Amino acid sequence: MDTLTRAFLISGLALIALILLVNGSDVFVPLAVAMLVWFLINAIATGIKRIPLGGKLVPRPVALLLSVAAILGSGFLIVDLIIRNVSAMSARRIDFSSSLNPLVDKVAEWIGVSNSEVLNKFFDTIGIEQLLGKIVSTTASFSGQLGVVSLYVVFLLVEQQFFDVKLRALIRDDKRRELVRGILSAIAHDVQKYIWIMTVVSALTAILSYAVMQWVGLDHLAFWAFLIFILNFIPTIGSILATALPALFAVVQFQGFSEALTLFVAIGVIEMAVGWFLQPRLAGQSLNLSQFVVVLSLFVWGAIWGIVGMFLAVPLTVIVMIIFSNFKTTRPVAILLSETGNLASLDRRLKDNDR
C-alpha cells in the first residue's frame, strides 16, 4: 500500500471513529467512565494485595471485594453530598440576581461611576447565576448516569478473569499475542498511575482549600471541596476553575470583594504549590505527554464529549500514544504526542511486559 493510499485510509478510519464517538456519546461516555473506575478498582486492589495480613498477602479476590466496597462507600457519600447541596444551591439561585444589585452599587460608588448600567452589563456578561446553574445541572446529570456506570463496572469486573483466555483464542501467534498483552499492560500501568497521582494531588488540594474556605466562612463547604477535588482532574483549566468558582460564589454570599479576594489568592497559591511542585515529583516523566498536547486534548475531547471528555482527556491521550507507538505507520504521531520525543522508556516497559 503506497503512502497516499495509507494516509487516506487512516484519515477515513479516524473520521468514522470521530462520528461514532460524537453520535454514540450516550453509550461511550458512561462506558469510558466505567473503564476509568474499573482501572481505579484494580489499582486499589493491587495496593491492598500488598498489605501483609498475618504473615501472608491479601488474596486477590478479597482485595477486589475490599476495593469495590471502598468505591461503593465513597460513591454513596458523593451522591448524598451532591443531592443535598444541589437542592440547597438550586433554592439560592433565585436570589442571586437580586443580591448582586447592592454589590453593583457598591462597586459603582467605589470607582466613582455615577451610573451603574455599565457594571450591571458587566455582571450580566459574567453570568454568575447561569454559571452556578450550569454546575448544578451538570452534577445532577452526572449523578443520574451513576447507575449505568455501575452496571458497566460490574460486568467488567466479572469479565476480566476471562480476558487472557479470550486473548489466546483471538490471537494464535505467540509473538503478536505478547505484543498485544504488553500494550494492554502498559495502558493499565500508566492509567492506574495517573489516577493514583491525580487522586492524591486533588485530595490534598481539596483538603487545604476546605480549611481556607472554612476560615473565611463560605457556605456549602463540602460541595466546594468536592468540586475542587473533581476539577483538579482537568489539567490547567480545572485548576483555574477550582480557584475562580468559590471566589465568585463568595462575591455573591458576602456582598463584597475582600473574602472573595482572600479565597482567590489562597486557593490559587495552594493550586500552584501542589500542581507545580508536588505533582511533578510524583509523576516524574512516566506519562511523557507534551504539555501542549495535554491542553489541546482538553479542547478536542471536550468538543467531543463535553465536560466528561475533559476529565478523560489525559487517560485517553495516553492510551492513544501507547497504541500508536507500537505500529510503524503511526509511531511518528506517538513521537509528536510525547513530551521529549523519546519513547525508549515506553518501549522498555513493553519489552518487560513481554517477558
* Domain definitions of the chain by residue range: 3-141+165-354
- Which of 284, 290, 269 has its CA nearest to residue 339? 290
Of all residues in the chain, the percent with pLDDT exceeding 70 is 74
- Please tell me the distance from the alpha carbon of residue 195 to that of residue 191, in angstroms, as a whole number: 6
Confidence of residue 209 (pLDDT cuts 50, 70, 90): very high
Can you tell me whether residue 289 is helix, strand or coil?
strand
- Please tell me the distance from the alpha carbon of residue 298 to that of residue 291, in angstroms, as a whole number: 11
**Number of neighbours of residue 153 by Cβ within 10 angstroms:** 22
pLDDT in tens, 127-161: 555 555 555 565 556 666 777 888 888 888 888 88
Selected residue with higher pLDDT from 50 and 126? 50
- Please tell me the distance from the alpha carbon of residue 58 to that of residue 46, in angstroms, as a whole number: 10
Q: Sign (positive/negative) of CA torsion 352, 31, 230, 257?
A: positive
Q: What mean pLDDT is reported for the chain?
A: 76
- Which of 240, 326, 337 has its CA nearest to residue 287? 337
pLDDT in tens, 274-324: 877 777 666 555 567 777 888 888 888 888 888 788 888 888 888 888 888
Given a cut of 60, is residue 115 above it in pLDDT?
A: no
- Please tell me the distance from the alpha carbon of residue 321 to that of residue 297, in angstroms, as a whole number: 12
Selected residue with higher pLDDT from 117 and 80? 80
- Please tell me the distance from the alpha carbon of residue 48 to that of residue 41, in angstroms, as a whole number: 10
Helices of type H across the chain = 3-23, 25-49, 60-111, 117-126, 128-144, 146-159, 163-170, 174-216, 221-231, 237-254, 258-273, 279-283, 291-324, 331-337, 344-354
Cell of 107: 462597586
Residue 138 · residue 305 · CB < 8 Å? no
Cell of 332: 511518528
Residue 309 · residue 293 · CB < 8 Å? no
Task: Mark 40-50 as b/e (b = at least 16 C-beta within 10 Å).
Answer: bbbbbbbebbe
Of all residues in the chain, the percent with pLDDT exceeding 90 is 5
Residue 316 · residue 301 · CB < 8 Å? yes
Cell of 74: 465513597
State the pTM of this model: 0.72
- Please tell me the distance from the alpha carbon of residue 49 to that of residue 43, in angstroms, as a whole number: 10
Q: What is the pLDDT of residue 355?
A: 47
How far from chain centre, in Å, is Cα 308?
A: 8
Side-chain-side CA neighbours of residue 16 (13 Å) = 6
CA angle 206–208–213, rounded 5-degree value: 85
- Please tell me the distance from the alpha carbon of residue 301 to that of residue 309, in angstroms, as a whole number: 5
Tell me 58's DSSP state: P
